[in-house]
Structure 1
Amino acid sequence: MVKVGVVGYGVIGQRLADGVARQKDMELVGVADVAPTLAIRALKEKGMPYAFYLGMAENKPQFDALAIPVAGTLEELVQKVDVVLDATSAGIGAKNKELYAKYNKKAIFQGGEKNSVADVFFHGYANYEKGLGKQFLKLTSCNTTGLIRSVDCLDRAYGVEKVAITIIRRVADPGDYHRGLTNALQIDKAPSHQALDLMTIMPHIDATGILVHTPVTHGHIITVVATTKQKINKAQALEAFGRHPRIRVVRIADGFQGNASLFRYARDLGNPRGDMYEIALWEESIVESGRDIMYAINIPQEAVTIPETMDAIRAAMQMQTERLAAVGETNKHLGLGKWLQN
């Protein structure tokens, strides 16, 4: 049983903890943070299902005042685990790395950290084998994670030469106030980092992209124009996407009109927090254009990287040495692909 700790119990950290808790071959030893945030207060009100460790000892009086039980320090948590999932704010993970290295522990960082923090820039489907046995892995960002899922799917089925993407990006997570209330769109300088990151993971594909920030909070939408090595039609693309356990093909005709429809459906399914681990791909968005195939996907930014993080644990700890065996275990424990049997 692989012992796992989660450092940073925020938007991603909460979901990582839940994801690890669902893996039958992993044990969540505990979670760590520095302040009694709303997420920690909610953890206490739920009866402390996860042991809590304190990232800054001088803040303990704040937790004592709220009667939040503290199981120990961050350093003690690190000593108890085999692998750490670092979900702290960008830049903090790189500092925490010194502690993980001190105790010779493996660690997996989220997409906000610089690539230099890790031995391998990792994606479960696209380059699983490169992560085998490595000490430090870094996940791709939420957008890049979902984008690579779809491109890798087409690439393994038909071969992909190049992609051009447009990202319509949510401006902030739900509940974030620091970005302000806006009524505008903002475009970034091309190419977007997601296109560059895709080429880092999949160097045989030429990629470029544009990113537009939008004043919404639930999900990004990415349009992709892919040039495949052999010309394919819509039916062939649909067949490949339809077999993928982390891609859910949906139809506008069925009521999936956009990101809000998907979020509402996830809540109706009873998913905790309305989370979706899978990306959604609209069937009606698949279009043939000469040699190219075009499609649109939805990226549920709060939860989409959780499956690939579980894959990263499996790779770093060499729980499975073969890609499909590893992602298959993750998918099974997270309930991914259930819709394929419906």
Structure 2
Amino acid sequence: MAKVRVGVAGYGTIGQRLADGVALQGDMELVGVADLAPTLAVQALRERGMPYNLYLAQGGDKRIFAEKGIPVTGTFEELADSVDIMLDASPGGAGAENKKIYEARGVKAVFQGGEHNSVAEVFFHGYANYERGVNKNYLKLTSCNTTGLIRSVDCLDRRYGVEKVVVTIIRRVADPGDYHRGLTNALQIDRAPSHQAVDLMTIMPHINATGILVHTPVTHGHMITVVVSGKSKITKEQALEAFREHPRIRVVSVAEGFLGNASFFKYARDLGNPRGDMYEIGLWEDSIAESGKDLIYAIYIPQESVTIPETMDAVRAACGMQTSGQEGTEKTNQYLHIGSYRQEGSHALWNSYDR
């Protein structure tokens, strides 16, 4: 069976990681990436020896790339002509414009969380509604917080049944290296309900969800506290059993040294993961508690990398590579080595990196 040909639009925070993720998939071929300007990420790509072909996004000036010695393979349209599906990680709003190019060429696309839901046929999550995306042309991913939140809620819902969810999201204000939010020493609250709770109900309409979001002046990850009301009482032991079996949830404890968001980022770096990335969400065993019928727990969201597995799932669904969520997510996990540390005693996530 021929490999599915994939292109990436936008080589920024998410686009870099999407390119790496596709390159690790044994049944996909990364044709190339596209960007508008020779950003630091693109300059780093050149210094790495151009492992990926670079195409010029619309509005880009090829001469500027040439001045920096960055080779350009072709135009954005030529990239779109050469693939089966595009992963659009361009800035919010640009994806909708790019869609016109995809439609004209009959090319499928997966859009990231920054686009409006209307850009796609299906608002997609690999575990919660994989089958809805099978053989569809245009899918849109949930945001990083929503992706991780749904993983944990879906995990409990599949096994025990969930009726209601209430979340508090402690949101990092910007990605590492970003300056556009300014230098701050304050917390900022959004109006309730948070869009993550609304998005969860869009993906899982049988669950009632609401929540509050607080912006915090940090960069390494979000934290979410979750209150779950089950169809029947879910005990801490039951929840812990389910969470520990989920490939994309890493259960940790304070006693191990996981004191907060920075602990996860440092651990991922100590593992040797490029950029300090981690595909799993973190879930503190110590945070799981019962309150009457309800259950509470806290999760960590590595915002730069958490959506990459679900994006690989989306490619599999849209291109009909696997038609069931179980098969699709298992294939993605296999190629990204997600959960392999449980069997191998080591974290083999990136042992095929830059192959």
Tell me the TM-score normalized by structure 1. Answer: 0.99
Task: Give the match for residue 82 of structure 2.
Answer: 80
- Letter of the structure 2 residue corresponding to residue 168 of structure 1: I
Task: Give the match for residue 221 of structure 1.
Answer: 223
Distance (whole Å) between structure 2 residues aligned to residue 117 and residue 58 of structure 1: 24
Q: 1:340 aligns with which of 342, 350, 355?
A: 342
Deviates more, 1:284-293 or 1:58-67: 58-67
- Structure 1 pair 148/58, CA: closer, same or farther in 2 (3 Å)? closer
1:289 partnered with 2:283: no
Task: Give the match for residue 268 of structure 2.
Answer: 266
- Structure 1 pair 58/213, CA: closer, same or farther in 2 (3 Å)? closer
Distance (whole Å) between structure 1 residues aligned to residue 165 and residue 313 of structure 2: 25
How big is each residue's C-alpha offset from its partner over 1:216-244, in whole Å with a ceiling of 9 and x where there is no partner? 00000000000011112111100000000
- Letter of the structure 1 residue corresponding to residue 253 of structure 2: R
Task: Give the match for residue 303 of structure 1.
Answer: 305
Report 1:127-276 matches (<5 A). 127-276=129-278
- Structure 1 pair 291/306, CA: closer, same or farther in 2 (3 Å)? same
Task: Give the match for residue 114 of structure 1.
Answer: 116
Distance (whole Å) between structure 2 residues aligned to residue 317 and residue 56 of structure 1: 26
CA RMSD of aligned residues (A): 0.7
Tell me the TM-score normalized by structure 2. Answer: 0.96
> Once the 2 structures are TM-superposed, how far is the Cα of residue 58 of structure 1 from its aligned partner?
5.2
Distance (whole Å) between structure 1 residues aligned to residue 58 and residue 138 of structure 2: 23
**Percent same amino acid among aligned pairs?**
71
SS state at 2:61 partner: helix
How big is each residue's C-alpha offset from its partner over 1:48-91, in whole Å with a ceiling of 9 and x where there is no partner? 00000001365011011111111000000000000000000000
SS state at 2:180 partner: coil
Q: Give unpaired runs (5+ residues) of structure 2.
A: 346-355
Task: Give the match for residue 331 of structure 1.
Answer: 333
Contact conserved, 2:86 with 2:108, CA < 8 A, in 1?
A: yes
SS state at 2:37 partner: coil
Question: Number of paired residues?
Answer: 342
Distance (whole Å) between structure 2 residues aligned to residue 107 and residue 81 of structure 1: 10
Q: Give unpaired runs (5+ residues) of structure 1.
A: none
Contact conserved, 1:108 with 1:313, CA < 8 A, in 2?
A: yes
- Letter of the structure 2 residue corresponding to residue 110 of structure 1: Q
How big is each residue's C-alpha offset from its partner over 1:10-46, in whole Å with a ceiling of 9 and x where there is no partner? 0000000000000000000000001000000000000
- Letter of the structure 2 residue corresponding to residue 42 of structure 1: A
- Letter of the structure 1 residue corresponding to residue 86 of structure 2: V
Contact conserved, 1:190 with 1:211, CA < 8 A, in 2?
A: yes
Task: Give the match for residue 348 of structure 2.
Answer: none
Question: Which aligned segments of 4 or more residues in structure 1 are displaced greater than 3 angstroms?
Answer: none
Distance (whole Å) between structure 2 residues aligned to residue 57 and residue 146 of structure 1: 34
